Amino acid sequence: MSAIDYAEKIPNNVNLAGDRTLQRALEHWQPQFLQWWREMGPNDFAGAEVYLRTAISVDAQGWAHYGKVRMPDYRWGIFLADPVAERKIGFGDAMGQAAWQQVPGEYRSTLRRLIVTQGDTEPASVEQQRRLGHTCPSLYDLRNLFQINVEEGRHLWAMVYLLHAYFGRDGREEAGELLARHSGDADKPRILTTFNEPVSDWLSLYCFTYFTDRDGKYQLKSLAESAFDPLSRTCRFMLTEEAHHMFVGETGLSRVVKRSLEVMKETGSDDPDRIRAAGAVDLPLLQRYLNFWCSSSLDLFGSEISSNSAANFANGLKGRPDEGQYEDHVLREQTLNLVTPQGAADVPMLNALNEVMRESYLKDCEVGLKRWNRMIERAGHDLRLSLPSARFRRSIGAWAGQAVDPQGNPVPRQRYENSLAGWIPSEADKAFVHSLMRKVIEPGRMAGWIAPPERGINNLPLEHEYVKLH
């Protein structure tokens, strides 16, 4: 077990005290981070006391320590999972050689780019979610939002530590830029499109945490395989926190479905107008939100055919999620049959790894869909929710800009243009969802459009005052 020294200015288990130069550099970045949090984080709730989980060590007992905290006082720190003794590179052309404790010169800029791209998403999501506290459906949900926010802040710290510790001056400059770009900013936007989309209602938040945080999980899993050992150890610990974000998405959407089914039963109708009049989300509306956020998140995996991902794999920088589940870790001989608008073709597996990753991601996304459809079936309704095809509404890769319906079938361009507004949330849909967003802050109470969760946080009752607002 690696204990975290909370007496230090920056809690860490990387022996920061043993490297004065690095410690000073990070202590210089820390006030910039706090200023960013005060300006771009959930700053209207700076005085709220939130029942938060803080990591006090990285082992099973210590990483989930609960207590009331004001968010600006959260102890953001640097925690790496314990090292694996004599860890070897697990894939690519250098498989079997010792993992790297330093960055090899030839991979320096590529690794830095991978770390910056991951790091950029973390503060971006805090910025996207910063106003949601004003419309929380319950104190339980408000607390979960803030838990995610502080952890995304910590994930930024994780990446900034790597930049400072291993990339010298370039790394320090990149760490500054991570606080200078902002989600949706016209001049200095965040790097990836999904992280510039507004998340201005809670239905979008649950979709974002279901689909977009799950992309994060898959990126972290593939970086956890990296030959660059500090990156691997950082990502392994981040994954323990990431699981909670997807829990919020999956249970949030389950509760929306549950409430919709209750209202369908009460009204004896599945007519969207009647469901809406009763203050709940109709299931076709939910389907359009799923279509939007799933298709946007699918772009995050990049082009179907990518020489960058081939090189990253061959060189040991980025593996496949759960690399251990595969037989062949070198992939010089394998091909994948890929269908593009030009037809089907066998392409070298190494060049198709983005697609391999996207497919395993989609399989993971199916889990919630199955659960929600079972609920709908048990309630006696024929409608089924589904994931959109990976070809639908893509902006990156072979299917970018193609006229394809959510089932993946090519349709005439004109029909596509006319139908698209009905496949993703329309302005009227968004206005309706926004009309449901009213702050509910009495302990234990829930907004009318969402069912209560099955249990509270850390075995506390649902009625617990998870956030004390001032």
Separation in Å, CA 181 to CA 36, 158, 171, 178, 343: 11, 18, 16, 6, 39
Minimum gap (Å) between residue 236 Cβ and Fe ion:
13
Whole-number Å distance between alpha carbons of 195 and 198: 8
Of the pair 152, 250, the CB lying nearest Fe ion is at: 152
Mark the segment that binds Fe ion (CB under 5 A) among 169-177, 207-215, 228-236, 316-324: 207-215
DSSP designation for 176: H
Contact 137, 450 (CB under 8 A): yes
Q: Does 155 bind Fe ion (CB under 5 A)?
A: yes
Mark the segment that binds Fe ion (CB under 5 A) among 40-48, 118-126, 171-179, 250-258: 118-126
Whole-number Å distance between alpha carbons of 49 and 265: 38
Mark the segment that binds Fe ion (CB under 5 A) among 50-58, 208-216, 298-306, 352-360: 208-216
Total interface residues for Fe ion by CB under 5 A? 6
Whole-number Å distance between alpha carbons of 171 and 166: 7
Of the pair 37, 107, the CB lying nearest Fe ion is at: 37
Of the pair 130, 155, the CB lying nearest Fe ion is at: 155
Of the pair 209, 254, the CB lying nearest Fe ion is at: 209
Q: 98: which strand partners?
A: 88
* Phi, psi for 197 (deg, rounded to 5): -75, 140
Mark the segment that binds Fe ion (CB under 5 A) among 2-10, 238-246, 380-388, 462-470: 238-246
Minimum gap (Å) between residue 217 Cβ and Fe ion:
8
Contact 209, 245 (CB under 8 A): yes
* Phi, psi for 258 (deg, rounded to 5): -60, -45
Site for Fe ion in 353-372 (CB under 5 A): none
DSSP designation for 187: S
Of the pair 181, 430, the CB lying nearest Fe ion is at: 181
The binding track of 23-62 with respect to Fe ion, each residue x by CB under 5 A or -, is ----------------------------------------
Of the pair 119, 406, the CB lying nearest Fe ion is at: 119
For β-strands 467-468 and 335-340, DSSP reports them as unpaired
188-192 contacts, C-beta under 8 A, 24 or more apart: 190/120, 190/121, 190/124, 190/127, 191/116, 191/117, 191/120, 191/121, 192/117, 192/120, 192/121, 192/124, 192/300
Mark the segment that binds Fe ion (CB under 5 A) among 213-221, 225-233, 366-374, 400-408: 213-221
Tokens of 419: 């139908």
Q: Does 259 bind Fe ion (CB under 5 A)?
A: no
Q: Residue 334 corresponds to which amino acid?
A: Q
Of the pair 215, 429, the CB lying nearest Fe ion is at: 215
Q: Residue 198 corresponds to which amino acid?
A: P
Q: Does 245 bind Fe ion (CB under 5 A)?
A: yes
Among 49, 213, 215, 355, binds Fe ion (CB under 5 A): 213
Angle, CA 290 vertex, CA 211 and CA 383 arms, to 5° = 135
Q: Does 221 bind Fe ion (CB under 5 A)?
A: no
Of the pair 75, 245, the CB lying nearest Fe ion is at: 245
Binding site for Fe ion (CB under 5 A): 122, 152, 155, 213, 216, 245
